[in-house]
Amino acid sequence: LSIQRGYALFDFLRSVNSIPLFLPGHLDRFFGSADGLHLTVPYTRDQLGAVVQELIQRNGIDEAGIRLMLTGGSSPDTYHPTTPNLVITCLPVRTATNEDFEKGLRLITYEHQRELPHIKSINYLTGVWLQPLLRQQQADDVLYHSKGLVTELPRSNVFIVSKEGSLCTPAAGILHGITRKKVLELAGGLLPVEERAVALEEIYNSSEMFITSTTRRLLPVREVDGRLIGNGKPGSVTRELYRRFRELEEGLRAGGPDR
Ligand code: PLP
């Protein structure tokens, strides 16, 4: 059903020094996505966590990307889901560098709302389809918006620092990123945090903007639709949150708890 109807879900995490990063959050989301697509994961949470750990060890890849995929199964009538198939892969992963952080991203906007946005389905049709447009516009990525509100990027969440000095991130119509969640926690005490609707107009006037994802951590946005965000350089809030995030990761690398 995955190939014939696009009916499947996945989750993607990475390991740091052979330790899966934010495993509990990723397992929660994986089981949540399965529930959302009415599919049953053929293992318990603990079993799946152990499989992930073992896969990292056996492959001997310290910094790996682990992909858990659950499909609608081999359907005799090619439409109704049967027993799901579970595939887990473990491959080397490239994460964004400090140079990528300093450079920042050029985004363009595109009106689109992902289907069943809270589920991490395998449907990236629009994102992949937009690649030639991105190349033509010399943009790094696309920011989706719908009915005047921004949502997310095809594979990342988005944050702004508003003119009033709050950290704002869309709450609805998105996939709840694990990196997003950590960043919201890390922002505690630094500045007011608002999970709320963010208008497209507001982002053009924001003083800072950045995106979050498993492989990109936090990356500043320097330009949207040819309009500069702030002074086009990584802002102080973005920089501090990035520092805190790296610190969290380094703590885990050094044997600390997966928080
Ligand atoms: N939004 C979408 C649609 C995604 O596919 C992803 C991850 O690939 C994200 C946001 C970011 O989520 P995470 O921080 O868990 O990688």
Report whether residue 206 contacts ligand 1, using a CB cutoff of 6 Å. Answer: no
Q: pTM for the complete prediction?
A: 0.97
| CA angle at 141 for the pair 209 and 5, rounded to the nearest 5° | 125
In testing the pocket of ligand 1, which one of 158, 159, 175 has its CB within 8 Å of the most ligand atoms? Answer: 175
Report whether residue 169 contacts ligand 1, using a CB cutoff of 6 Å. Answer: no
Phi–psi pair at 107, nearest 5 degrees: -115, 155
Report whether residue 155 contacts ligand 1, using a CB cutoff of 6 Å. Answer: yes
Task: Quote the pLDDT of residue 252.
Answer: 87
Task: Quote the pLDDT of residue 203.
Answer: 97
Phi–psi pair at 67, nearest 5 degrees: -115, 120
Task: Quote the pLDDT of residue 256.
Answer: 76
Report whether residue 33 contacts ligand 1, using a CB cutoff of 6 Å. Answer: no
77 Cα: distance to centroid of ligand 1 (angstroms):
32
In testing the pocket of ligand 1, which one of 26, 153, 157 has its CB within 8 Å of the most ligand atoms? Answer: 157
Task: Quote the pLDDT of residue 259.
Answer: 60
Q: How far apart are CA 60 and CA 157, in angstroms?
A: 30
Residue nearest to atom 8 of ligand 1 (CA): 155
- Take residue 93 and report the two structure tokens written for it: 């992963």
208 Cα: distance to centroid of ligand 1 (angstroms):
20
Q: Which residues of the chain have pLDDT under 70?
A: 259
103 Cα: distance to centroid of ligand 1 (angstroms):
21
In testing the pocket of ligand 1, which one of 178, 214, 215, 219 has its CB within 8 Å of the most ligand atoms? Answer: 214
Task: Quote the pLDDT of residue 254.
Answer: 84
CB-count exposure of residue 114 (10 Å: 0-12, 13-18, 19+): buried
Tell me, letter by letter, the H, E, C secondary structure of 147-168: CCEECECCCCEEEEECCCCCEE
Task: Quote the pLDDT of residue 168.
Answer: 98
Would strands 193-195 and 227-228 be described as parallel, antiparallel, or unpaired?
Answer: unpaired
Residues 224-250 pLDDT 10s: 999 999 999 999 999 999 999 999 999
Report whether residue 177 contacts ligand 1, using a CB cutoff of 6 Å. Answer: yes
Task: Quote the pLDDT of residue 253.
Answer: 85
Q: Which amino acid is at 60?
A: G
The per-residue pLDDT of the chain, averaged, comes to: 97
Task: Quote the pLDDT of residue 255.
Answer: 80
CB-count exposure of residue 30 (10 Å: 0-12, 13-18, 19+): buried
Helix axis angle, 236-253 relative to 178-186, nearest 10°?
110
Residue nearest to atom 6 of ligand 1 (CA): 155
Q: Is 233 helix (H, G, I), strand (E, B) or coil?
A: coil
DSSP state for residue 84 in the 8-state scheme: P
